[in-house]
Chain A
């Protein structure tokens, strides 16, 4: 009995000691998200095929995302894995099995190490979420649940090594060498040079000017220029903008597009946002171009870690590049509309 009490006392004391010690040490951060959704297409077809949520009249799952981060002094690492359709075969590449949803296992979202040489200069190496574009794979970091054409066309992740220098809180510059897009390891060598200039001219306004030249996911050596910016105009109004242009030197492929993201917050827990997008597939070898316009109206209703995202979306495909179908499922149509309700939980 005495021994038990002594052991219990010792345990209690050691727990308290550990608790005090933990305040000084950098803890291991564990975070993530889970998402699920219902989608209904008004033409009863899975018409709008942006990267995620392609089904019709279905309650479907997105992904579970798990991230670890640890900082020790000036060094840190991030490891982030996702499981589920959004994080596996819909997010290239897969750990195994390529794009085969049966064979693949999981997708690495981030796996990198970082070292801060000084307060102003850091270097990062590994596989990282792309620095290009407004939207990201994880639904917890997007306002709209469905994704834009610009998001689907650009890189998802870049493996490589990069250095970032902060001139001040308002200006920083990143330059890096990368593999071809979305590859854990280079098939044709470290082939891309990328850079990002961040400027924050006034409080609440941040702009990223991105450039990436090298081997893209379409097999071409291309140059991608991208502007991603967001401005908190007032306490309730925020405006975001994404514009990008990709040109392949050998005229194999290219695209350009612009998306505007005005948002209005009724309260800190309830907001409404529109995404208005114009996207153009450049004609190959002098051929005709094809463009798509899209309007997406989304709500964000938050309660604790949970966010409900009701959303309606209308797309117009004037050049029939997307293969939208009428409700007879055979006749092509220019327009498509859908409703979705997503639940995203972040922890």
Chain B
């Protein structure tokens, strides 16, 4: 019986964990889905800016700097949407977004907004590429037939934004990243 209870708890815990990951993005005053965060920081402004720019450079496949003058940094990024999360999946589209970062007195704020979806189509070489340059804002009401799919796009955007924010904040506090484990010690058998 206790094993069954354990199994039940495990299943409930798993579901709860997944549910926590997919909280929907809130909308801003203009009605756009936005991830917004204000963070107190003791890091100097120059260092903050340098670290943000370094973060963008390290993630250049995902996000590109548009302008970085003064205390305001603008960039555009994209996340690839997978058709399913199983082992057999393929990209079905991308969600583009705008990243804004501002430095204030003893704090900084950033927000991800203008989430827009572009569907993918397979090209002549078997690769999935954007089928159009016309993007559809995530706020737009989808057709009935793709409502479920559209909800999934919004949840994937939400999950991505939370993960992006965590990675960015870790970079800005210069969180120590554990060094790789030391290489295996070689045994030299011919010496005493």
Where the two chains meet, the residues of A that have a C-beta atom closer than 8 Å to any C-beta of B are 2, 5-6, 8-9, 12-13, 16, 19, 22-23, 27-31, 33, 67, 69, 78, 80, 109-110, 112, 119, 128-131, 136, 138, 140-141, 203-204, 232, 235, 238, 265, 268-269, 303-304, 346
Whole-angstrom distance between the Cβ of B123 and the nearest chain A Cβ: 7
With A29-B89, A29-B90, A129-B125 as contacts: A8 and B136 at CB distance below 8 Å: no
Asked if B11 CB lies within 8 Å of chain A CBs, one says yes
User: A27 is contacted by which of B11, B88, B133 (Cβ under 8 Å)?
Assistant: B88
With A28-B88, A30-B90, A140-B121 as contacts: A69 and B7 at CB distance below 8 Å: no
Q: Mark B113-146, 1 if CB is under 8 A from A, else 0.
A: 0000000011111111000111010000001011
With A9-B10, A232-B132 as contacts: A110 and B85 at CB distance below 8 Å: no
Q: Which residue of A lies closest to B64 (CB)?
A: A169
User: B88 is contacted by which of A30, A112, A130, A268 (Cβ under 8 Å)?
Assistant: A30
Asked if B4 CB lies within 8 Å of chain A CBs, one says yes
- Could you count the A-B residue pairs with CB atoms below 8 Å apart for me: how many are there? 87
Evaluate contact between A31 and B90: CB separation under 8 angstroms: yes
With A5-B4, A29-B90 as contacts: A204 and B124 at CB distance below 8 Å: no
Scoring B87, B121, B126, B128 by chain A CB atoms within 10 A of each residue's CB, the highest score goes to B126
| A78 contacts across to B, CB distance below 8 A | 125-127
User: B124 is contacted by which of A22, A23, A130, A346 (Cβ under 8 Å)?
Assistant: A130
Evaluate contact between A31 and B3: CB separation under 8 angstroms: no
| B82 contacts across to A, CB distance below 8 A | 27
| B11 contacts across to A, CB distance below 8 A | 12
Asked if B6 CB lies within 8 Å of chain A CBs, one says yes
- Apart from the given pairs A109-B126, A269-B143, 12 other A-B contacts in the complex at a CB distance below 8 Å: A9-B6, A12-B10, A13-B10, A29-B90, A29-B128, A30-B89, A69-B126, A80-B126, A129-B126, A131-B124, A138-B122, A238-B132
Where the two chains meet, the residues of B that have a C-beta atom closer than 8 Å to any C-beta of A are 3-4, 6-7, 10-11, 14, 60-61, 82, 85, 87-91, 121-128, 132-134, 136, 143, 145-146
Whole-angstrom distance between the Cβ of B154 and the nearest chain A Cβ: 17
Tell me the bound Cα distance from A195 to B138 in angstroms: 39
Q: Which residue of A lies closest to B129 (CB)?
A: A141
| A110 contacts across to B, CB distance below 8 A | 125-126
Whole-angstrom distance between the Cβ of B144 and the nearest chain A Cβ: 10
- Rank and list the top 8 A-B pairs by shortest CB-CB distance, nearest first: A129-B124, A29-B90, A78-B126, A5-B3, A204-B133, A30-B88, A110-B126, A136-B124
| B89 contacts across to A, CB distance below 8 A | 27, 29-30
Tell me the bound Cα distance from A268 to B88 in angstroms: 27
Scoring B61, B128, B134 by chain A CB atoms within 10 A of each residue's CB, the highest score goes to B134
Tell me the bound Cα distance from A138 to B132 in angstroms: 18
Evaluate contact between B134 and A69: CB separation under 8 angstroms: no
Whole-angstrom distance between the Cβ of B177 and the nearest chain A Cβ: 16
Tell me the bound Cα distance from A203 to B127 in angstroms: 21
Q: Which residue of A lies closest to B6 (CB)?
A: A9
| A128 contacts across to B, CB distance below 8 A | 124-125
| B4 contacts across to A, CB distance below 8 A | 5
| A2 contacts across to B, CB distance below 8 A | 3
| A346 contacts across to B, CB distance below 8 A | 121-122
Tell me the bound Cα distance from A232 to B130 in angstroms: 13
With A22-B85, A29-B90, A30-B88 as contacts: A9 and B126 at CB distance below 8 Å: no
Whole-angstrom distance between the Cβ of A261 and the nearest chain B Cβ: 14
Evaluate contact between A140 and B122: CB separation under 8 angstroms: yes
| B133 contacts across to A, CB distance below 8 A | 203-204, 232
Evaluate contact between B7 and A67: CB separation under 8 angstroms: no
Evaluate contact between B90 and A16: CB separation under 8 angstroms: no
| A5 contacts across to B, CB distance below 8 A | 3-4, 7
Tell me the bound Cα distance from A269 to B87 in angstroms: 29
Tell me the bound Cα distance from A204 to B60 in angstroms: 22
With A27-B87, A78-B127, A129-B126 as contacts: A141 and B121 at CB distance below 8 Å: yes
Whole-angstrom distance between the Cβ of A235 and the nearest chain B Cβ: 5
Evaluate contact between A303 and B145: CB separation under 8 angstroms: yes
Evaluate contact between B122 and A8: CB separation under 8 angstroms: no
Evaluate contact between B122 and A304: CB separation under 8 angstroms: no
Show 8 A/B contacts (Cβ-Cβ < 8 Å), sorted by A: A2-B3, A6-B3, A19-B85, A29-B88, A30-B90, A33-B122, A69-B127, A238-B132
Whole-angstrom distance between the Cβ of B30 and the nearest chain A Cβ: 20
With A5-B4, A16-B14, A69-B127 as contacts: A304 and B146 at CB distance below 8 Å: yes
Whole-angstrom distance between the Cβ of A291 and the nearest chain B Cβ: 27
